[in-house]
Structure 1
Amino acid sequence: MDHWLTTIPPLAVYLIAGLAVGIESLGVPIPGETILVAAAILSSRHEVSVSPHGIAIAAVLGAVIGDSIGYTIGRRYGHRLFAYLERRFPHHFSHDLVDYAEHVFERWGMAAVFVGRFIALLRIFAGPLSGSLKMHYPRFLLANATGAICWAGGTTYLVYYVGTAAEDYLKNFSYVALGVAVVLGLLGSTILRRKLERNVKLFAEERARHEAQAQQSTD
């Protein structure tokens, strides 16, 4: 296994990490964060010449460029894009989720773009939804870039240093150490995802209650 790892071209790892993050940022629900974590873990292996700096740079560029393209698409096609995504990816998009994301982005603006980078379900909405809501692009770009640097750079270096430390202390159990690094790298995003799902449910229930009350008042 170790010999096979040494044959992986570092450039291929950087490109895969950057493309995965970029495609996810476009609004396509692929596991960009998982791929980023895997690349960062790979860079923590001493026998592999993959640099965490290269991964961080590629991921940041992928996030910024992908979100910017998503912003342009969302600004042009608006809610028609989300209607298509609901039909195309029904397990990842729903009417309730889109409405909740729109509510969050309308209320919090740049802060939603920044924080959304750390939450998988909001991460795929940031670019297209900001464009659809006609957010001023320089403000979007600032929030997008700072969020990408903190998320992509932070995730890369956190997983890298955890993986390196684990490998140093558990030399005879290096694959166990890699598994530990994966769990730590994904635990935070999983907690945030669960919280978001609960918020979407509560938001949908509250919206349905208001609609029922409005309907009763008109009858």
Structure 2
Amino acid sequence: MHIDAWIESVPPGAVYGLVGLIIGLESLGIPLPGEIALVTAALMSVKGVVSPYGIAGVAIAGAIVGDSIGYSIGRKGGKPLFEKLGRRFPKHFGPAHLATAERSFQKWGMWAVFFGRFIALLRIFAGPLAGALKMPYWKFLIANVLGGVIWAGGTTLLVYKVGKSIEPWLSRFSWAGLLAALLVGGASAWIMKRRAAKAHAEQEASEAVAVKEPVAD
């Protein structure tokens, strides 16, 4: 069963907990389709099944709490944690993905946490990597809260407002919102994979040059 069908099949009261849990686990560092879960719940709020403000609230809470737990795990585990995860989940935590994420943190600092909230693959890295790189918690918390509120709350209310304006046709085209989420998620994942592959190639090239260089006497 797909995640959207699963969310729609549970009782309305359980939707809140399920959405918060999925987004929290994704933010913690577990690869889950948080964006699809959020859009699905937002579409359900258009139909009156759940409250858009309730969904926004649990999504924001899940994003902030999940990222904070991920930060603590990364702080304690350090880079060896990512090396271990890379061996177990090479498609998500491989050396190339880690190199790309590190470059983003070096370039943007605390704002990599904020902008990472809007990119599928960076969402699972932001918290743990910020902790592993010893980013001061107050900087991380500011970016984490801002990113969580704008991404989770903004996405929910945007889908709700747009859905309400096209409610007469929503029963026919509710799949359009899910398709849009899939396209955005797929595009961001493709961009990240391209960047990861490039970073990996550059890393291998620099290592090859280092090996070839003669050692000074």
TM-score (norm 1): 0.87
Q: Deviations over 1:101-156 (max 9, x none)?
A: 12221332111111100111110001100000000000000001101111111211
Could you report, residue by residue, the CA deviation over 1:148-191 in whole angstroms, capped at 9, with x for unpaired residues?
Answer: 111111211222233333332x26xx1x3110111223333322
2:182 corresponds to: 186
| AA aligned opposite 1:78 | G
One-letter identity of the residue aligned with 2:43: I
Of all paired residues, the percent bearing the same amino acid is: 49
Which residue of structure 1 lines up, in the alignment, with residue 16 of structure 2? Answer: 14
| Contact persistence 2:21–2:62 (CA under 8 A) | yes
Q: 1:165 to 1:107 in 2, by over 3 A?
A: same
- How far, CA to CA, are the matches of 1:18 and 1:110 in structure 2? 24
Letter in 2 for 1:51: S
- Aligned equivalent of 1:209, options 195, 200, 205: 205
> CA 1:126–1:11 in structure 2 vs 1: closer, same or farther (change >3 Å)?
same
Q: CA deviation at 1:39?
A: 0.8
Q: 3-state DSSP class of the match of 1:29? A: coil
* Residue 92 (structure 1) aligns with: 92
C-alpha contact (below 8 Å) 1:74/1:131 kept by paired residues: yes
Separation in 1 of the partners of 2:114 and 2:131?
A: 15
Determine the C-alpha separation between the residues in 2 that align with 1:31 and 1:19. 11
Q: Within 2, Cα distance between the matches of 1:31 and 1:7?
A: 17
**214 and 90 in structure 1: CA distance in 2 versus 1, 3 angstrom threshold:** closer
Q: Which AA in structure 2 matches 1:106?
A: Q
CA distance in 1, matches of 2:163, 2:214: 61
Alignment partners' CA distance in 2, 1:193 and 1:56? 24
Q: Deviations over 1:10-69 (max 9, x none)?
A: 4311111111100111101111221111111111114x2x11111111001100000001
Gaps spanning 5+ residues in structure 1: where? none
Question: Do 2:19 and 2:37's aligned partners in 1 also have CA atoms closer than 8 Å?
Answer: yes
**Match of residue 158 from structure 1:** 158
Q: How does 1:109-120 map to 2 (within 5 A)?
A: 109-120=109-120
Shift of 1:9: 4.1
Q: How many residue pairs end up in the alignment?
A: 209
Partner of 1:83: 83
Q: Secondary structure at the match of 2:128?
A: helix
1:158–1:185 CA contact under 8 A, matched in 2: no
CA RMSD in angstroms comes to 2.0
Q: Give the aligned residue type for 2:36.
A: T
Provide TM-score, normalisation by structure 2.
Answer: 0.88
Deviation at 1:6, TM superposition (A): 10
Structure 2 gaps, min length 5: 1-6
- Cα separation, 1, equivalents of 2:111 and 2:148: 13
Say whether 1:42 aligns with 2:38: no
Match of 1:62 in 2: 62
The alpha carbon displacement at 1:7 in A equals 9.2
Alignment partner for residue 196 of structure 1, among 175, 192, 197?
192
Letter in 1 for 2:202: E
**Cα offset for 1:205?**
1.5
Q: Is the 8 A contact 1:120 1:189 kept in 2?
A: yes
